[in-house]
Amino acid sequence: MSVSATQPGATPFSELTRMPDARGHFGPYGGRFVSETLSFALEDLEQTYASLRNDPAFQAEFDRDLAHYVGRPSPLYHAERWSNALGGAQIWLKREDLNHTGAHKINNTIGQALLAKKSGKPRVIAETGAGQHGVASATVAARLGLECDVYMGATDVERQKLNVYRMRLLGARVIPVESGTKTLKDAMNEALRDWVTNVDNTFYIIGTVAGPHPYPLLVRDFNAVVGREARRQSLDQIGRLPDALIACVGGGSNALGLFYPFVEDEGVTMYGVEAGGDGVATGRHAAPLSSGAPRGVLHGNRTYLMSDEAGQVADTHSVSAGLDYPGVGPEHALWKDVGRVHYVAANDDAVLDAFRELTHMEGIMPALESAHALAHAKVLAPTMRPDQHIVVNLSGRGDKDIMTVAKLDGIEF
Ligand SMILES: *Cc1c(COP(=O)(O)O)cnc(C)c1O
Protein backbone atom coordinates (compact mmCIF):
# COMPACT_ATOMS: atom_id res chain seq x y z
CA MET A 1 0.00 0.00 0.00
CA SER A 2 2.95 2.36 0.24
CA VAL A 3 4.22 4.53 -2.55
CA SER A 4 7.72 5.92 -2.90
CA ALA A 5 8.15 9.29 -1.27
CA THR A 6 8.92 12.32 -3.33
CA GLN A 7 12.61 13.23 -3.17
CA PRO A 8 12.89 15.92 -0.48
CA GLY A 9 13.38 19.27 -2.14
CA ALA A 10 12.60 17.92 -5.62
CA THR A 11 9.47 20.08 -5.86
CA PRO A 12 10.29 23.81 -5.68
CA PHE A 13 8.04 25.61 -3.20
CA SER A 14 6.62 27.78 -6.00
CA GLU A 15 5.24 24.62 -7.66
CA LEU A 16 3.16 23.89 -4.57
CA THR A 17 0.86 26.84 -5.26
CA ARG A 18 -0.22 25.14 -8.49
CA MET A 19 -1.28 21.94 -6.75
CA PRO A 20 -3.31 19.80 -7.15
CA ASP A 21 -2.92 18.70 -10.78
CA ALA A 22 -5.95 18.21 -13.01
CA ARG A 23 -6.67 14.79 -11.50
CA GLY A 24 -6.52 15.99 -7.92
CA HIS A 25 -3.04 14.69 -7.13
CA PHE A 26 -0.63 16.40 -4.76
CA GLY A 27 2.49 14.59 -5.97
CA PRO A 28 1.85 10.93 -5.09
CA TYR A 29 -1.05 11.81 -2.77
CA GLY A 30 -4.72 12.74 -3.07
CA GLY A 31 -6.76 11.59 -6.05
CA ARG A 32 -10.29 10.24 -6.21
CA PHE A 33 -10.67 6.64 -5.08
CA VAL A 34 -14.48 6.26 -5.19
CA SER A 35 -17.28 4.31 -6.84
CA GLU A 36 -18.58 5.27 -10.27
CA THR A 37 -21.71 6.93 -8.85
CA LEU A 38 -19.67 9.26 -6.68
CA SER A 39 -17.19 9.81 -9.43
CA PHE A 40 -19.92 11.50 -11.53
CA ALA A 41 -21.05 13.64 -8.58
CA LEU A 42 -17.47 14.70 -7.89
CA GLU A 43 -16.88 15.61 -11.55
CA ASP A 44 -19.99 17.76 -11.35
CA LEU A 45 -18.76 19.46 -8.21
CA GLU A 46 -15.33 19.94 -9.77
CA GLN A 47 -16.87 21.68 -12.79
CA THR A 48 -19.19 23.84 -10.71
CA TYR A 49 -16.29 24.91 -8.53
CA ALA A 50 -13.96 25.50 -11.49
CA SER A 51 -16.51 27.91 -12.97
CA LEU A 52 -17.00 29.77 -9.67
CA ARG A 53 -13.45 29.75 -8.27
CA ASN A 54 -12.40 32.84 -10.20
CA ASP A 55 -15.86 34.34 -10.61
CA PRO A 56 -15.82 37.81 -9.01
CA ALA A 57 -19.55 37.64 -8.17
CA PHE A 58 -19.10 34.35 -6.28
CA GLN A 59 -16.04 35.67 -4.46
CA ALA A 60 -17.90 38.86 -3.54
CA GLU A 61 -20.79 36.83 -2.11
CA PHE A 62 -18.33 34.69 -0.11
CA ASP A 63 -16.47 37.77 1.18
CA ARG A 64 -19.72 39.46 2.18
CA ASP A 65 -20.87 36.40 4.14
CA LEU A 66 -17.47 36.19 5.85
CA ALA A 67 -17.71 39.85 6.85
CA HIS A 68 -21.36 40.11 7.91
CA TYR A 69 -22.10 36.60 9.19
CA VAL A 70 -18.76 35.25 10.43
CA GLY A 71 -17.37 38.60 11.60
CA ARG A 72 -14.15 38.65 9.59
CA PRO A 73 -11.42 39.77 9.52
CA SER A 74 -10.39 38.08 12.76
CA PRO A 75 -7.77 40.04 14.76
CA LEU A 76 -4.06 39.24 14.92
CA TYR A 77 -3.39 39.62 18.65
CA HIS A 78 0.02 40.20 20.24
CA ALA A 79 0.20 37.91 23.30
CA GLU A 80 2.68 40.21 25.00
CA ARG A 81 2.52 38.91 28.54
CA TRP A 82 2.85 35.29 27.46
CA SER A 83 5.70 36.14 25.06
CA ASN A 84 7.60 37.91 27.86
CA ALA A 85 7.06 34.99 30.21
CA LEU A 86 8.45 32.54 27.65
CA GLY A 87 11.42 34.86 27.11
CA GLY A 88 11.97 34.57 23.38
CA ALA A 89 10.12 35.40 20.18
CA GLN A 90 6.98 37.55 20.09
CA ILE A 91 3.84 35.42 19.80
CA TRP A 92 0.88 36.61 17.75
CA LEU A 93 -2.46 34.79 17.83
CA LYS A 94 -4.71 34.63 14.78
CA ARG A 95 -8.06 34.80 16.53
CA GLU A 96 -10.24 32.26 14.67
CA ASP A 97 -11.84 31.60 18.07
CA LEU A 98 -13.72 34.89 17.65
CA ASN A 99 -15.58 33.71 14.52
CA HIS A 100 -19.32 33.00 14.67
CA THR A 101 -19.70 29.44 16.08
CA GLY A 102 -16.22 29.69 17.62
CA ALA A 103 -13.73 28.15 15.19
CA HIS A 104 -12.24 28.32 11.69
CA LYS A 105 -14.67 25.63 10.44
CA ILE A 106 -17.36 28.18 9.55
CA ASN A 107 -15.12 29.62 6.78
CA ASN A 108 -15.37 26.39 4.83
CA THR A 109 -19.03 25.64 5.58
CA ILE A 110 -20.02 29.11 4.36
CA GLY A 111 -18.16 28.42 1.09
CA GLN A 112 -19.64 24.96 0.60
CA ALA A 113 -23.13 26.19 1.51
CA LEU A 114 -22.83 28.68 -1.35
CA LEU A 115 -21.90 25.77 -3.66
CA ALA A 116 -24.88 23.79 -2.34
CA LYS A 117 -27.15 26.74 -3.08
CA LYS A 118 -25.77 27.02 -6.65
CA SER A 119 -26.31 23.28 -7.14
CA GLY A 120 -29.99 23.70 -6.22
CA LYS A 121 -29.90 20.68 -3.89
CA PRO A 122 -32.30 21.01 -0.94
CA ARG A 123 -30.43 18.73 1.48
CA VAL A 124 -26.93 18.80 2.98
CA ILE A 125 -25.11 16.14 4.98
CA ALA A 126 -21.93 16.33 7.04
CA GLU A 127 -19.69 14.14 9.20
CA THR A 128 -18.49 15.33 12.56
CA GLY A 129 -16.16 14.21 15.35
CA ALA A 130 -16.33 16.57 18.32
CA GLY A 131 -19.35 18.21 16.75
CA GLN A 132 -17.74 21.48 15.63
CA HIS A 133 -18.11 20.83 11.92
CA GLY A 134 -21.62 19.47 12.54
CA VAL A 135 -22.57 22.67 14.34
CA ALA A 136 -21.04 24.84 11.60
CA SER A 137 -22.93 22.84 8.93
CA ALA A 138 -26.22 22.95 10.86
CA THR A 139 -25.72 26.70 11.23
CA VAL A 140 -25.32 27.44 7.52
CA ALA A 141 -28.14 25.00 6.69
CA ALA A 142 -30.47 26.87 9.06
CA ARG A 143 -29.52 30.16 7.45
CA LEU A 144 -30.26 28.87 3.93
CA GLY A 145 -33.29 26.79 4.85
CA LEU A 146 -31.70 23.48 3.81
CA GLU A 147 -32.45 20.10 5.32
CA CYS A 148 -29.40 18.89 7.28
CA ASP A 149 -28.36 15.42 8.47
CA VAL A 150 -25.14 15.04 10.47
CA TYR A 151 -23.37 11.69 10.89
CA MET A 152 -21.58 11.31 14.21
CA GLY A 153 -19.97 8.25 15.82
CA ALA A 154 -22.07 6.87 18.69
CA THR A 155 -19.09 7.25 21.05
CA ASP A 156 -18.78 10.93 20.13
CA VAL A 157 -22.56 11.45 20.47
CA GLU A 158 -22.19 10.29 24.05
CA ARG A 159 -19.02 12.36 24.71
CA GLN A 160 -20.29 15.57 23.12
CA LYS A 161 -23.89 15.82 24.27
CA LEU A 162 -23.92 19.60 24.31
CA ASN A 163 -22.95 19.90 20.65
CA VAL A 164 -25.50 17.21 19.73
CA TYR A 165 -28.25 19.25 21.36
CA ARG A 166 -26.91 22.43 19.77
CA MET A 167 -27.23 20.84 16.31
CA ARG A 168 -30.79 19.70 17.08
CA LEU A 169 -31.73 23.22 18.23
CA LEU A 170 -30.44 24.46 14.88
CA GLY A 171 -32.84 22.09 13.13
CA ALA A 172 -30.40 19.36 12.08
CA ARG A 173 -30.89 15.63 12.55
CA VAL A 174 -27.94 13.90 14.24
CA ILE A 175 -27.50 10.27 13.15
CA PRO A 176 -25.39 8.17 15.55
CA VAL A 177 -23.02 5.75 13.74
CA GLU A 178 -22.65 2.35 15.41
CA SER A 179 -20.03 0.81 13.08
CA GLY A 180 -16.26 0.44 13.64
CA THR A 181 -14.81 2.47 16.49
CA LYS A 182 -17.96 4.67 16.43
CA THR A 183 -15.88 7.81 15.88
CA LEU A 184 -15.04 10.32 13.14
CA LYS A 185 -13.69 7.94 10.49
CA ASP A 186 -16.83 5.78 10.77
CA ALA A 187 -19.05 8.86 10.58
CA MET A 188 -17.31 9.87 7.35
CA ASN A 189 -17.79 6.36 5.90
CA GLU A 190 -21.54 6.59 6.61
CA ALA A 191 -21.81 10.08 5.17
CA LEU A 192 -20.13 8.87 1.95
CA ARG A 193 -22.57 5.93 1.86
CA ASP A 194 -25.55 8.27 2.28
CA TRP A 195 -24.22 10.48 -0.50
CA VAL A 196 -23.96 7.58 -2.97
CA THR A 197 -27.65 6.83 -2.42
CA ASN A 198 -28.96 10.40 -2.37
CA VAL A 199 -26.58 12.19 -4.68
CA ASP A 200 -29.43 13.70 -6.75
CA ASN A 201 -30.82 15.86 -3.96
CA THR A 202 -27.91 16.00 -1.48
CA PHE A 203 -24.75 18.10 -1.15
CA TYR A 204 -22.00 16.66 1.07
CA ILE A 205 -20.19 19.31 3.16
CA ILE A 206 -16.81 17.78 4.12
CA GLY A 207 -15.19 19.37 7.16
CA THR A 208 -11.47 19.21 6.43
CA VAL A 209 -8.91 19.08 3.60
CA ALA A 210 -9.40 15.33 3.12
CA GLY A 211 -11.81 13.22 1.05
CA PRO A 212 -11.76 12.73 -2.73
CA HIS A 213 -10.83 15.49 -5.22
CA PRO A 214 -11.97 18.32 -5.37
CA TYR A 215 -12.66 18.54 -1.61
CA PRO A 216 -9.04 19.01 -0.44
CA LEU A 217 -8.72 21.86 -2.94
CA LEU A 218 -11.92 23.69 -2.15
CA VAL A 219 -11.71 23.32 1.63
CA ARG A 220 -8.17 24.75 1.48
CA ASP A 221 -9.30 27.64 -0.72
CA PHE A 222 -12.18 28.54 1.61
CA ASN A 223 -9.87 28.55 4.65
CA ALA A 224 -7.04 30.44 2.93
CA VAL A 225 -8.73 33.67 3.99
CA VAL A 226 -7.02 33.02 7.36
CA GLY A 227 -3.53 33.17 5.86
CA ARG A 228 -4.33 36.06 3.52
CA GLU A 229 -5.49 38.14 6.47
CA ALA A 230 -2.58 37.05 8.69
CA ARG A 231 -0.07 37.96 5.98
CA ARG A 232 -1.54 41.44 5.51
CA GLN A 233 -1.90 41.97 9.28
CA SER A 234 1.73 40.92 9.86
CA LEU A 235 2.94 43.49 7.34
CA ASP A 236 0.75 46.16 9.01
CA GLN A 237 1.34 45.32 12.67
CA ILE A 238 4.85 43.79 12.70
CA GLY A 239 6.15 45.67 9.68
CA ARG A 240 7.32 42.48 7.97
CA LEU A 241 6.42 38.81 7.52
CA PRO A 242 6.66 36.59 10.60
CA ASP A 243 9.61 34.21 11.05
CA ALA A 244 7.42 31.21 11.83
CA LEU A 245 3.85 29.96 11.62
CA ILE A 246 2.35 27.27 13.85
CA ALA A 247 -0.99 25.47 13.52
CA CYS A 248 -2.48 22.22 14.78
CA VAL A 249 -3.22 19.44 12.29
CA GLY A 250 -6.17 17.07 12.48
CA GLY A 251 -7.29 16.68 8.88
CA GLY A 252 -5.31 19.86 8.31
CA SER A 253 -7.74 22.60 7.23
CA ASN A 254 -6.85 25.35 9.71
CA ALA A 255 -3.13 24.71 9.12
CA LEU A 256 -3.41 24.81 5.32
CA GLY A 257 -5.63 27.88 5.60
CA LEU A 258 -2.90 29.73 7.46
CA PHE A 259 0.10 28.29 5.58
CA TYR A 260 -1.05 28.35 1.96
CA PRO A 261 -0.75 32.12 1.31
CA PHE A 262 2.83 31.99 2.71
CA VAL A 263 3.98 28.97 0.69
CA GLU A 264 6.36 30.95 -1.54
CA ASP A 265 7.74 33.05 1.34
CA GLU A 266 10.81 30.91 1.94
CA GLY A 267 11.89 32.93 4.98
CA VAL A 268 8.75 31.85 6.83
CA THR A 269 9.25 28.52 8.64
CA MET A 270 6.10 26.47 9.20
CA TYR A 271 5.20 23.94 11.87
CA GLY A 272 2.20 21.60 11.78
CA VAL A 273 1.45 20.13 15.20
CA GLU A 274 -0.25 16.74 15.39
CA ALA A 275 -1.88 15.05 18.38
CA GLY A 276 0.85 13.19 20.27
CA GLY A 277 -1.69 11.71 22.72
CA ASP A 278 0.16 9.68 25.32
CA GLY A 279 3.37 10.04 23.27
CA VAL A 280 4.19 8.90 19.73
CA ALA A 281 6.34 6.06 21.12
CA THR A 282 3.31 4.57 22.96
CA GLY A 283 1.32 4.12 19.75
CA ARG A 284 -1.58 5.94 21.45
CA HIS A 285 -1.66 9.09 19.33
CA ALA A 286 -3.12 10.65 16.18
CA ALA A 287 0.07 11.75 14.45
CA PRO A 288 0.38 10.04 11.04
CA LEU A 289 2.90 12.56 9.64
CA SER A 290 5.31 13.03 12.52
CA SER A 291 5.25 9.31 13.39
CA GLY A 292 6.07 8.46 9.76
CA ALA A 293 3.03 6.22 9.29
CA PRO A 294 2.71 4.10 6.14
CA ARG A 295 0.70 5.41 3.20
CA GLY A 296 -2.67 4.15 2.10
CA VAL A 297 -6.13 5.13 0.92
CA LEU A 298 -8.86 6.40 3.22
CA HIS A 299 -12.05 8.30 2.37
CA GLY A 300 -11.20 8.52 -1.30
CA ASN A 301 -7.64 9.87 -1.17
CA ARG A 302 -4.10 8.57 -0.77
CA THR A 303 -2.16 9.91 2.19
CA TYR A 304 -0.18 9.05 5.32
CA LEU A 305 -2.42 6.78 7.35
CA MET A 306 -2.15 5.19 10.78
CA SER A 307 -2.55 1.44 10.29
CA ASP A 308 -2.04 -1.69 12.38
CA GLU A 309 0.06 -4.72 11.41
CA ALA A 310 -2.83 -6.25 9.45
CA GLY A 311 -3.02 -3.09 7.35
CA GLN A 312 -6.32 -2.02 8.95
CA VAL A 313 -6.86 1.63 9.83
CA ALA A 314 -5.61 2.00 13.42
CA ASP A 315 -7.41 3.42 16.44
CA THR A 316 -6.29 6.89 17.40
CA HIS A 317 -6.05 8.70 20.68
CA SER A 318 -6.03 12.36 21.67
CA VAL A 319 -7.36 14.51 24.50
CA SER A 320 -8.99 16.64 21.78
CA ALA A 321 -11.75 14.95 19.78
CA GLY A 322 -11.19 17.31 16.86
CA LEU A 323 -7.71 15.90 16.12
CA ASP A 324 -8.70 12.26 16.54
CA TYR A 325 -8.38 11.21 12.87
CA PRO A 326 -6.06 8.47 11.52
CA GLY A 327 -5.40 10.17 8.16
CA VAL A 328 -4.38 13.67 7.12
CA GLY A 329 -5.08 15.88 4.12
CA PRO A 330 -3.03 14.83 1.05
CA GLU A 331 -1.51 18.27 0.54
CA HIS A 332 0.14 18.02 3.96
CA ALA A 333 1.59 14.64 2.94
CA LEU A 334 3.33 16.30 0.01
CA TRP A 335 4.48 19.30 2.06
CA LYS A 336 6.05 16.89 4.51
CA ASP A 337 7.91 15.03 1.77
CA VAL A 338 9.26 18.18 0.12
CA GLY A 339 10.18 19.68 3.50
CA ARG A 340 8.11 22.85 3.23
CA VAL A 341 6.43 22.22 6.61
CA HIS A 342 7.93 20.62 9.71
CA TYR A 343 5.51 18.22 11.36
CA VAL A 344 5.83 17.64 15.09
CA ALA A 345 3.59 16.20 17.80
CA ALA A 346 2.45 17.64 21.14
CA ASN A 347 1.46 15.23 23.90
CA ASP A 348 -1.75 15.56 25.94
CA ASP A 349 0.15 16.74 29.06
CA ALA A 350 1.92 19.57 27.25
CA VAL A 351 -1.36 20.52 25.57
CA LEU A 352 -3.18 20.85 28.89
CA ASP A 353 -0.32 22.97 30.27
CA ALA A 354 -0.55 25.31 27.29
CA PHE A 355 -4.35 25.46 27.64
CA ARG A 356 -4.05 26.56 31.27
CA GLU A 357 -1.16 28.95 30.66
CA LEU A 358 -2.86 30.93 27.89
CA THR A 359 -6.09 31.09 29.89
CA HIS A 360 -4.25 32.44 32.97
CA MET A 361 -1.82 34.78 31.27
CA GLU A 362 -3.91 36.25 28.45
CA GLY A 363 -7.52 35.62 29.47
CA ILE A 364 -8.06 33.61 26.30
CA MET A 365 -9.34 30.06 26.64
CA PRO A 366 -8.23 28.06 23.58
CA ALA A 367 -9.80 24.92 22.14
CA LEU A 368 -7.76 21.84 23.10
CA GLU A 369 -7.03 21.39 19.39
CA SER A 370 -5.52 24.89 19.19
CA ALA A 371 -3.62 24.25 22.44
CA HIS A 372 -1.49 21.77 20.44
CA ALA A 373 -0.17 24.69 18.40
CA LEU A 374 0.36 26.69 21.60
CA ALA A 375 2.29 23.80 23.15
CA HIS A 376 4.75 23.95 20.26
CA ALA A 377 4.99 27.74 20.57
CA LYS A 378 6.15 27.13 24.15
CA VAL A 379 8.94 24.92 22.80
CA LEU A 380 9.93 27.14 19.88
CA ALA A 381 9.68 30.71 21.25
CA PRO A 382 12.48 30.39 23.87
CA THR A 383 14.88 29.23 21.11
CA MET A 384 14.29 32.48 19.22
CA ARG A 385 15.18 36.17 19.82
CA PRO A 386 12.72 38.80 21.16
CA ASP A 387 12.88 40.63 17.82
CA GLN A 388 11.57 37.55 16.02
CA HIS A 389 7.88 36.77 15.50
CA ILE A 390 5.66 33.69 15.52
CA VAL A 391 2.05 33.61 14.31
CA VAL A 392 -0.02 30.85 15.93
CA ASN A 393 -3.41 29.89 14.53
CA LEU A 394 -5.82 29.96 17.46
CA SER A 395 -8.26 27.77 15.52
CA GLY A 396 -11.09 27.77 18.06
CA ARG A 397 -12.33 28.72 21.49
CA GLY A 398 -12.22 26.39 24.47
CA ASP A 399 -15.74 26.66 25.93
CA LYS A 400 -16.64 23.26 24.46
CA ASP A 401 -13.69 21.69 26.32
CA ILE A 402 -14.41 22.96 29.82
CA MET A 403 -16.11 19.67 30.80
CA THR A 404 -13.14 17.62 29.54
CA VAL A 405 -10.68 19.70 31.54
CA ALA A 406 -12.95 19.68 34.62
CA LYS A 407 -13.09 15.89 34.51
CA LEU A 408 -9.27 15.72 34.41
CA ASP A 409 -9.28 18.05 37.45
CA GLY A 410 -11.62 15.59 39.19
CA ILE A 411 -14.55 18.00 39.19
CA GLU A 412 -18.05 16.61 38.59
CA PHE A 413 -21.01 18.83 37.71
C1 LIG B 1 -11.95 20.54 13.90
C2 LIG B 1 -10.97 21.43 14.54
C3 LIG B 1 -9.58 21.29 14.30
C4 LIG B 1 -9.00 20.19 13.44
O5 LIG B 1 -9.35 20.25 12.09
P6 LIG B 1 -8.34 20.74 10.97
O7 LIG B 1 -9.03 20.37 9.71
O8 LIG B 1 -7.05 20.00 11.16
O9 LIG B 1 -8.17 22.19 11.13
C10 LIG B 1 -8.71 22.19 14.90
N11 LIG B 1 -9.15 23.16 15.73
C12 LIG B 1 -10.48 23.31 16.00
C13 LIG B 1 -10.89 24.39 16.93
C14 LIG B 1 -11.42 22.45 15.43
O15 LIG B 1 -12.72 22.60 15.72
| Residue 277 belongs to domain with CATH number | 3.40.50.1100
Are residues 302 and 247 both part of a single domain?
yes
Are residues 111 and 98 both part of a single domain?
no
Residues in the chain with pLDDT values less than 70: 1-10
Q: Does the annotation count 266 as an active-site position?
A: no
| 198 part of a folded domain | yes
Asked, as a colleague might, if the bond just before 386 is cis with ω within 30 of 0, I would say no
Are residues 257 and 374 both part of a single domain?
yes
| 118 part of a folded domain | yes
**Best substitution site from 100, 105, 219, 401 to test ligand 1's pocket, by max atoms within 8 Å of Cβ?**
105
**208-229 b/e (C-beta count within 10 Å ≥ 16 → b):** bbbbbbbbbbbbbbbbbbbbeb
| 18 part of a folded domain | no
Q: Does the annotation count 35 as an active-site position?
A: no
Q: Which of 219, 253, 277 represents a domain boundary (last residue)? A: 219
Active-site residue among 96, 127, 229, 362? 127
Q: Which atom of ligand 1 is least distant from the CA of 323?
A: 4
Residues contacting ligand 1 via CB (< 6 Å): 103, 105, 132, 208, 248-254, 322-323, 367, 369-370, 395-396
Are residues 98 and 109 both part of a single domain?
no
Task: Check residue 10 and give its pLDDT.
Answer: 67
Are residues 234 and 281 both part of a single domain?
yes
Total tally of structural domains belonging to the chain: 2
Task: Check residue 2 and give its pLDDT.
Answer: 39
Q: Does the annotation count 94 as an active-site position?
A: no
Task: Check residue 7 and give its pLDDT.
Answer: 53
Are residues 169 and 253 both part of a single domain?
no
Are residues 159 and 272 both part of a single domain?
no
| 17 part of a folded domain | no
- Per the structure, the complete domain to which residue 379 belongs is given by 73-102+224-408
SS3 382: helix
Residue 105 CA to ligand 1 center (angstroms) comes to 7
Q: Are 275 and 350 in contact (CB under 8 A)?
A: no
* Cβ partners under 8 Å of residue 288, min gap 6: 274, 303, 304, 305, 306, 326, 327, 328
The DSSP element (H or E) to which 297 belongs, if any, is strand 295-298
Are residues 117 and 259 both part of a single domain?
no
Residue 36 CA to ligand 1 center (angstroms) comes to 30
| 231 part of a folded domain | yes
CA 218 – CA 140 distance, rounded (Å): 17
| 85 part of a folded domain | yes
Are residues 165 and 98 both part of a single domain?
no
Task: Check residue 8 and give its pLDDT.
Answer: 52
pLDDT in tens, 33-67: 999 999 999 999 999 999 999 999 999 999 999 99
Q: Which of 219, 239, 272 represents a domain boundary (last residue)? A: 219
Are residues 230 and 294 both part of a single domain?
yes
Are residues 91 and 192 both part of a single domain?
no
| 319 part of a folded domain | yes
Q: Are 342 and 272 in contact (CB under 8 A)?
A: yes
Are residues 158 and 49 both part of a single domain?
yes
| 92 part of a folded domain | yes
Q: Which of 219, 245, 273 represents a domain boundary (last residue)? A: 219
**67-94 b/e (C-beta count within 10 Å ≥ 16 → b):** eebbebbbebbbbeebbeebebbbbbbb
* Cβ partners under 8 Å of residue 238, min gap 6: 90, 92, 389
* Cβ partners under 8 Å of residue 62, min gap 6: 110, 111, 114, 222
Task: Check residue 9 and give its pLDDT.
Answer: 53
